[in-house]
Chains A and B, each alone.
Chain A
Amino acid sequence: MSDARSDTKNGPIGILGYGGYLPRMRLERSAVAQANAWFAPNFAGKKGTRTFANWDEDSITMAVAAARDCLGAGEDRSRIKGVTLASSTLPFAERMNSGIVAEALTLDDDLETLDLTGSQRSALAGLAQALSKASSPSATGEILVLAADDRQTRPASAAELEVGDGAAAILVGRGPRDRVLAELLGTGTVSVDFVDHFRPAGEDVDYVWEERWIRDEGVSKLVPQAIERALTAAGIGAEQIDTFVFPSTLAKMDAQVAKACGIRPDALVDSLASGIGDTGVAHPLLLLAHALEKARPGQHILVAQFGSGAQALVFRVTDAIGSFRPRVGVSGWIARGVSEANYTKFLSFKGSLVLEKGMRGEQDKKTALTTLYRHRKAILGLVAGRDEATGAVHFPPSRLSLSGNSAGAPPVGTPAQDSQRPYKLAERGAKVLSWSAEYLSYHPSPPNHYGQVDFDGGGRILMEFTDITKGEIDVGTPMEMVFRIKDKDEKRGFTRYFWKATPVRSASTPEKKEH
């Protein structure tokens, strides 16, 4: 790729914002090793944890969470004109996955959505494409590049311990100089059909070739080529790189590549292997977002990824870097982890272990697509209706508004008609009005918590709760909204999404261990 340095007259091209998301649960590797020791004793002594998605999370929901981490709570998202979602685990093969994300983010519909998949480097390919598009003279608006992975692995495999689930978001575009946090200097790519692993369409688990060959013939030869091309395009030397992001599950591979390219050893970033695991397509963006939290003006960041060749991008951190903070940030998500030693819970959430659901689990979850389309703003965007005269918020929105009821007394007067305007609830705080936790119905992670929540500024929804530690919900508990899987229609393979409430958590508070 050619030099992408921008026309300074119109402002530089680069990163305008960043964010991440890591699921709360951290699986203890020792628990996995212990459970599988009879079969795979070679994993004994494995330490640390990996993230794993809750049963109601997938690459779409995690991408939404990362995007919200990046975009913040602001009402106006009209500047975003593109959403790219890169993942090797897109929930839908046919249905624009990034389009679901855009609906959840309540973005305007005059934007371009794009799904990218097929390689571990698809996130960096997407990032390069988005930056290239932003540099075009006709470009308007900003592009949100999202990456997420929620991979399935074979029990008792190395990948099961190495992989983690997560997502990241990088917002790019041409900015005024004081908004661009890191300016793009150059990109480089190598595209060859080097098959270190593959996953046929319709299969869930990767098939992997021998590690020694991947190291020697793949990574060691292809990644330096891409890096060299990017450095040349950027016009800087390898020794000038201050931060080198190169995720790989191969031990010390990043150090080996750095050495081969002449990158200083102190430029290597923590791969988060010990606590998080490798989040696949999301990982380079996740590590980039993590690195940007600590980046200082003038530093050079090189981010590279291997996969069907290799991709590399070089950025220079600007003076604006301190002006942006993600809502929680990768380090915040890291701190929010809760240890989980229950291996069968992990297997069940990953679909590797089918638990007895009982007859209550046989309920048909068929989704009427006509209904979904008609009410997509309410369902996917959590948009209520606010009566313009009274300010009363109604969810779901309706043609007739409530008016005049009081405790134990019927309404007086005539309800206002067609008086409601769209009113977004997803970024508003809420409190629990009433709740319960039940063990009767089938639920993938019992007990099923739900209750009524009242939103700050008006609005009430009886809704499901998620990511709950038993005992932490009470009347008045502050809650926030998360976009999650509502139901899976196993008969037809359709996933239903909606919003759930989860307790507001501060990033710094260590979580209680979940039992």
Chain B
Amino acid sequence: MASGIKDKVAILGMGCSKFGERWDASAEDLMVEAYNEAMTDAGIQPSQLGAAFFSTHMDDVGVGRGGTPMSIALRLPNIGVTRVENFCAGGTEAVRAAVYAVAAGACDIAIALGVEKLKDTGYGGLPTATVGTYIPQWYPNAVAPANFAQLASAYRSKHQVDAQLLKRAIAHVSVKSHANGAKNPKAHFRSPVSEEQVLRAPIIAEPLGLYDCAGVSDGAAAVIVTTQEIARSLGKKDLITFKALQIAVSNGWEMQSNEWDGSYLHTTRIAAKKAYAEAGIEDPRKELSMTEVHDCFSITELVTMEDLGLSKEGGGVKDVLDGVFDAEGALPCQIDGGLKCFGHPIGASGIRMLYEMYLQLQGRADARQLANPKLGLTHNLGGQPSQNVSAISIIGRADA
């Protein structure tokens, strides 16, 4: 029986670039920005890095393939740099690799860095990724908003939720994230919006409007991990450790069998159960202090609350409208603005979620600081509702 990852690895340092339309910065510049902050925070020299894991999704508008772009941009000391790609969950996947490398004793200190440069496409929204030679011959020319919008249609039908009520609930999700993002100097979007603005916005994919969709941003984030012993030997106190790291990937069941009802994320439920078990959490709604979930679209966040067991099934609408996940609520979600407002540079997003969690747990989140958080969960989703990658990490104070 595997003993799991709980408390075996600690965060030594983190960094995150300003997210947004970074016309001024190349992917390489963004990497340097996040790396500098993380290395300063960790207080180490490049020669102390034993392995690097590099998350980036798009080839055509990014840095191309392989590990060399990171190694060259950061002038790394000829260590192994592994490119990790797992759709929008690549960031957490890179973290998992770094954490496992340290836990295995293969190296003392490892870095995971994610970057995405999306604003060199010339248009809004995500670029279309290539999917091989077979899928394009039958699969729709689908875009993310319409893939995730389908959750709304199936959710409404399953739980008999009035279309207007669901629209208002998901609007609340975005209003909350905008309010949070306004307090975050590194966020892409920093203006509060009203529910009316959200409801009136142009439709992107029925029933999702402009404000139901996350920002498409440039940005980079990095995390440096090591063992608790090494962290302490380097002078670190009040360590933040990994309690769980779980990834679940679709095997085609949702997309091909007739059993999935389209209203929830099958892999998130599986990954969440495993993560809670690994972390020793029995009542996540009570034990977690905060979450950063993959709110690529407002409906995704609402459904994810149920899949993580934080709302009961069919209860997401009420909890959202009751403000449970607002900054002042019982279980704040996206206190940094989330994908919605901090932004969504794909390969970096999973690490950005950890970054906020890390700041909060250390009491360094300035205007956004929550009162005494102990344990937080990140949920990083790649793909689309009917076939995807769900990556969950739980981190907390070493003594929590």
Residues of chain A whose beta carbon lies under 8 Å from any beta carbon of chain B: 358-360, 363, 365, 367-368, 370-372, 375, 378-379, 392-396, 398, 402, 405-411, 433-441, 443, 447-448, 450-452, 454, 458-464, 474-476, 486-487, 496, 498-499
Across the interface, A372 reaches (CB within 8 A) one of B137, B157, B251, namely B137
Complex Cα distance, B261 from A486, in Å, reads 26
Q: Is the CB of B150 within 8 A of A436?
A: yes
* Chain-A contact segment, one of B17-25, B128-136, B177-185: B128-136
Given known contacts A379-B138, A462-B255, A498-B137, A437 and B205 CB-to-CB distance under 8 angstroms: yes
Residues of chain B whose beta carbon lies under 8 Å from any beta carbon of chain A: 121-123, 125, 128, 133-134, 136-143, 145-147, 149-154, 156-157, 202-206, 208, 248, 251-253, 255-264, 266, 269-270, 273, 307, 385-386
CB contacts (< 8 Å) of A499 on chain B: these are 138
CB contacts (< 8 Å) of B142 on chain A: these are 450, 462
Complex Cα distance, B152 from A498, in Å, reads 27
Q: Is the CB of A460 within 8 A of B257?
A: yes
Q: Is the CB of B154 within 8 A of A460?
A: no
Across the interface, A434 reaches (CB within 8 A) one of B138, B153, B259, B273, namely B153
User: Closest approach, in angstroms, between the C-beta of B118 and any C-beta of chain A?
Assistant: 13
Q: Is the CB of B137 within 8 A of A486?
A: yes
Complex Cα distance, B205 from A330, in Å, reads 36
Q: Is the CB of B145 within 8 A of A436?
A: yes
Which one of B121, B142, B156, B203 has the greatest number of beta carbons of chain A within 10 Å?
Answer: B142
Q: Is the CB of B204 within 8 A of A438?
A: yes
User: Closest approach, in angstroms, between the C-beta of A218 and any C-beta of chain B?
Assistant: 45
CB contacts (< 8 Å) of B251 on chain A: these are 402, 405, 411
Q: Is the CB of A460 within 8 A of B255?
A: yes
Given known contacts A378-B138, A434-B153, A460-B258, A405 and B253 CB-to-CB distance under 8 angstroms: yes
CB contacts (< 8 Å) of A486 on chain B: these are 137-138
CB contacts (< 8 Å) of B138 on chain A: these are 378-379, 396, 461, 463, 486, 498-499
- Give the interface SS of chain A, mostly helix, strand, loop or mixed: mixed
User: Closest approach, in angstroms, between the C-beta of B284 and any C-beta of chain A?
Assistant: 15
Q: Is the CB of A371 within 8 A of B133?
A: yes
Q: Is the CB of A407 within 8 A of B259?
A: yes
Closest 10 CB pairs of A and B: A408-B269, A438-B205, A368-B133, A436-B149, A434-B150, A438-B146, A475-B157, A405-B253, A436-B146, A434-B262
Complex Cα distance, B149 from A368, in Å, reads 30
Complex Cα distance, B122 from A464, in Å, reads 27
Complex Cα distance, B255 from A395, in Å, reads 9
Q: Is the CB of A363 within 8 A of B128?
A: yes
Which one of B136, B139, B204 has the greatest number of beta carbons of chain A within 10 Å?
Answer: B136
User: Closest approach, in angstroms, between the C-beta of A88 and any C-beta of chain B?
Assistant: 28
Q: Is the CB of B258 within 8 A of A458?
A: yes
Given known contacts A359-B123, A438-B149, A402 and B252 CB-to-CB distance under 8 angstroms: yes
Complex Cα distance, B220 from A32, in Å, reads 54
Q: Is the CB of A441 within 8 A of B143?
A: yes
Complex Cα distance, B140 from A433, in Å, reads 15
Q: Is the CB of B153 within 8 A of A451?
A: yes
Instruction: Name the residue of chain B whose CB is nearest to the CB of A463.
Output: B140
Complex Cα distance, B146 from A439, in Å, reads 9
CB contacts (< 8 Å) of B263 on chain A: these are 434
User: Closest approach, in angstroms, between the C-beta of A449 and any C-beta of chain B?
Assistant: 9
Complex Cα distance, B253 from A409, in Å, reads 11
Complex Cα distance, B163 from A475, in Å, reads 12
Complex Cα distance, B136 from A84, in Å, reads 30
CB contacts (< 8 Å) of A359 on chain B: these are 121-123
Q: What are 19 A-to-B residue pairs whose CB atoms are below 8 Å? A: A360-B125, A394-B252, A394-B256, A398-B252, A405-B259, A407-B261, A434-B154, A434-B263, A434-B385, A437-B206, A438-B146, A441-B143, A447-B205, A450-B142, A450-B146, A452-B255, A452-B262, A460-B255, A461-B138
Q: Is the CB of A409 within 8 A of B270?
A: yes
Complex Cα distance, B178 from A410, in Å, reads 36
Q: Is the CB of A433 within 8 A of B261?
A: yes
Across the interface, A462 reaches (CB within 8 A) one of B136, B261, B386, namely B386
Q: Is the CB of B145 within 8 A of A438?
A: yes
Q: Is the CB of B256 within 8 A of A450?
A: no
Q: Is the CB of A454 within 8 A of B258?
A: yes
Across the interface, B140 reaches (CB within 8 A) one of A406, A450, A454, A459, namely A450
